[in-house]
A and B are shown apart, each in its own frame.
Chain A
């Protein structure tokens, strides 16, 4: 039963709106350590300096997309076991399959409610306190 406040999260999306919405949802769930990155490359740069427990990342981003980020994370030993939740659109079943091959922990379909966000995180970490 991990405490939400003990889990650090990196939110990766090129859209500020989506980052703000995810951050807002996370804050409602009691998360405190939340950082943001606008693309996969920036996310990677942040992660190697300061690892997070959880990455919530969009798929379609400039520079380095969500799958590229996932692969990079999984191949870099210091951060390879970071939990990774991929943000997807409804029709992206191909993407979810490919992400699963690369070891994504869960996915989250946009748009989402705070309850669904909680459910998706709890499926990865267990019930939050």
Chain B
């Protein structure tokens, strides 16, 4: 790929983060909790998007970002007050900015009318009276012409002022020695303890410290531990001592020269600085010992601020500002601050890695797990005692392999924040479309889950939230009449539970109208007119195909897919979704998914000479049926009696076309599974090999989609095995169908 294309990819990736920062900042402002730094961060996000967009020539995006940025700049400089209503307007502008970013990425067109209207709105907000002259983007910099440093007569000729009236300052490179090879500055520790005679001779300790500072970078700590109580104080006594840390290229003699005339009037220790020495002499040594042995940044900043104080400097860190007040005076406070800010640096060390490399690593580790399992099985088959050194060694290996797997999976794990972040906009838009007042509360944003799952979470969450606002929450007047606040609350929460990720979307609306749901289900013949259903069962009827509770097809939920499709897609991922509802108090959707889609706990089964894997999550139990438990119904139908109930028997091999006639269940084993609508089915296989963790390989991306098959995997011995989609197998049987081309799948 072209390098610029790669950078463009980086830009869009970065835009996503910037847009999230932007939205978070604006939401904080809207909630009234934004400070100056929040406003600045919002400005910076818009500014950065504009900057990057300019580099790639996304003109429309640049133009809109510019208007946005201009307003933020006015807010930043307090020309426009940062009110909560302004934040609400800016949130809408942020949505349009996001549209522009998406359009730039996809090449689609944006809604120009909407953009123009928003831009006009932003301009009006920036300059309500329309007094200011149009921004002069091409403005030059006429007032200042810095003096160039001459490095040679000829070259200076090229350095004339440019179109902005700015004259560049030339510098000379160091001749031979590369900068990086210059000897590093040495660090010294100077302990300076004046005697009373020093003060009597009218010497001022601060002057010596200031003199030291000329040699390099200086941090000074005052030791006043010998200072007596006031009543015991001798006004002419000497009680203070200073410990200075100096980073300099000067040698010891030069340092000693500073104290040339007072050496007899003080105790002076000058020695190379090391952490060990420091610990011995500095009561606050703990803090400093953690700081790296190099000039500390806070001190440099303090010095910079002291040398050239500019009141309007806006971005100088507060810590540095505080130290700047007394650069060479006893600076005990500076030391802990320096340590703090240095710790800040260490925390942000991250690396970016091509996701494909991690995917590859995860695949390999998955196969390592499988290989290890196979090996363990061989050991058992060979009849080695569990206490033998080979077996115990294998146990250790298993432990290690699992740990490696967990660590590798953790690399690819991401917080659900990236999905949650998109929801405030959805809530805003859905709320305005339905005329409802909604507040979104999120919880557990830091919950981590595998990247493969994250990507699949967005659609179901979107749908559940839309549903909660559209169907769950009442209109504001209805709420007020019911004694609730006009503003409804939708809560989106994520948590880990039992090795799965659980997402809950709850609302404080009216709850499910069970009478109506039941009536609709009966009218659509989804249930019989005299069905006896529990409340819970009624609530979950909304997941049935063909069910829609909306009295009229609304703009929001009526569009696109129904809850049945959501449930179907969740189940395809080995997940479950359910709803619980309390009349008048609201409903809660609960969605649970495996933490990863990279590996799967499966039951390895034999079917007509093929090895298949059935996801363990689908299996309720597996059993060996007795002949008397099987009732034949017609030529190819049969049911199995399980604890008083009857469950349809479905031969996997027959449905998938591996064999021409169904296997008699009594000759095989049965996997009892729970299917899509809570019903059960008994899948018949020839035999069970065992339970195993397998690495999921997409069949779709390697071959094509095959009905009844979810994916494929490679077993420890190198054979390919297909992973069953049990629900699809049941559905195929129901339609009375068999796979379109039996030979094809068998051949794979």
A interface with B by C-beta (< 8 Å): 2, 6-8, 14-18, 20-21, 24, 33, 38, 41-42, 44-45, 48-53, 60-65, 67-68, 71-72, 74-78, 81, 83, 89-91, 93, 96-98, 100-107, 110-111, 120, 122-127
Contacts and interface: CB of A to CB of B under 8 A. Distances in A.
A8 B178 contact: yes
Given A8-B180, A53-B179, 5 more contacts: A14-B44, A17-B7, A60-B43, A60-B47, A96-B141
B303 interface: yes
A15 B12 CA distance: 11
Contacts of B297: 41, 44-45, 48, 72
13 contacts: A15-B51, A17-B51, A20-B7, A24-B7, A45-B345, A49-B294, A60-B47, A65-B315, A76-B295, A81-B171, A96-B166, A105-B170, A111-B55
A111 B11 CA distance: 14
Contacts of A63: 317
B308 A71 contact: yes
Contacts of B307: 71, 75
Contact of A110 (B4, B55, B159, B170): B55
A57 to B, nearest CB: 13
B140 A93 contact: yes
B164 interface: yes
Interface string B127-167: 00000000111111101101000011001001100001010
A68 to B, nearest CB: 5
A37 B310 CA distance: 25
A5 B305 CA distance: 34
Nearest to B249: A78
Interface string B259-270: 000000000000
A17 to B, nearest CB: 4
B300 interface: yes
Nearest to B143: A97
Contact of A21 (B43, B55, B155, B179): B55
Nearest to B305: A71
A97 B141 contact: yes
Interface centre among A62, A103, A110, A123 (most CB of B within 10 A): A123
A55 B584 CA distance: 64
Interface string B431-448: 000000000000000000
Nearest to A97: B144
A124 to B, nearest CB: 6
B341 interface: yes
Return the 9 tightest CB-CB contacts between A and B, nearest first. A123-B168, A65-B315, A106-B168, A17-B11, A75-B304, A111-B54, A111-B55, A71-B304, A17-B52
B182 A76 contact: no
B522 interface: no
Contact of B182 (A51, A64, A123): A51
B313 interface: yes
Contacts of A123: 158-159, 168, 170
Interface string B22-35: 00000000000000
Interface of B: 3-4, 6-7, 10-11, 14, 41, 43-44, 47-48, 50-52, 54-55, 57, 135-141, 143-144, 146, 151-152, 155, 158-159, 164, 166, 168-171, 173-174, 178-180, 182, 185, 216-217, 249, 294-295, 297, 300-301, 303-305, 307-308, 310, 313, 315-317, 341, 344-345, 348
B294 A126 contact: no
A124 B166 contact: no
Interface centre among A17, A77, A89, A107 (most CB of B within 10 A): A17
Nearest to A93: B141
Contacts of B308: 71, 75, 102
Contact of A125 (B47, B173, B180): B173
A36 B573 CA distance: 41
A124 B14 contact: no
A68 B298 CA distance: 12
B300 to A, nearest CB: 5
Contacts of B217: 76-77
Contact of B168 (A7, A14, A101, A120): A120
Nearest to A96: B141
Given A91-B139, A122-B158, A126-B151, A76 B55 contact: no
A90 B14 CA distance: 22
A107 B315 CA distance: 19
Contacts of B48: 14-15, 18, 60
B405 to A, nearest CB: 31
B607 to A, nearest CB: 51
A68 B301 contact: yes
Contacts of B3: 24
B168 A105 contact: yes
B47 A89 contact: yes
B216 A124 contact: no
Contacts of B170: 105, 123-126
Contacts of A89: 47, 50-51
A33 to B, nearest CB: 8
A19 to B, nearest CB: 9
Contacts of B169: 103-106, 124
A96 B144 contact: yes
Contacts of A38: 348
B644 to A, nearest CB: 64
A67 B47 CA distance: 17
Contacts of B182: 51
A71 B306 CA distance: 10
B317 A100 contact: no
A126 B305 CA distance: 32
Contacts of B43: 60
A18 B180 contact: no
Contacts of B55: 17-18, 21, 110-111
Contacts of B146: 100, 103-104
Contacts of B173: 2, 6-7, 53, 125
Contacts of B345: 41-42, 45
B152 A100 contact: no
A111 B158 CA distance: 23
Contact of B51 (A48, A107, A110, A122): A110
Given A24-B4, A75-B307, A100-B166, A16 B315 contact: no
Nearest to B297: A44
A68 B139 CA distance: 24
Contacts of A107: 164, 166
A64 B3 CA distance: 30
B171 A125 contact: yes
B703 to A, nearest CB: 37
Interface centre among B4, B166, B182, B217 (most CB of A within 10 A): B166
A76 B302 CA distance: 11
Contacts of B174: 53
Interface centre among A16, A97, A107 (most CB of B within 10 A): A16
A64 B300 CA distance: 12
A41 to B, nearest CB: 6
Contacts of B138: 90
A68 B634 CA distance: 85
B168 to A, nearest CB: 4
A104 B146 CA distance: 9
B10 A126 contact: no
Contacts of A83: 171
B315 A17 contact: no
A62 B316 CA distance: 10
Given A41-B341, A75-B300, A111-B54, A48 B171 contact: no
Contact of B52 (A18, A53, A67, A78): A18
Contacts of A106: 166, 168-169
Contact of A91 (B136, B158, B305, B310): B136
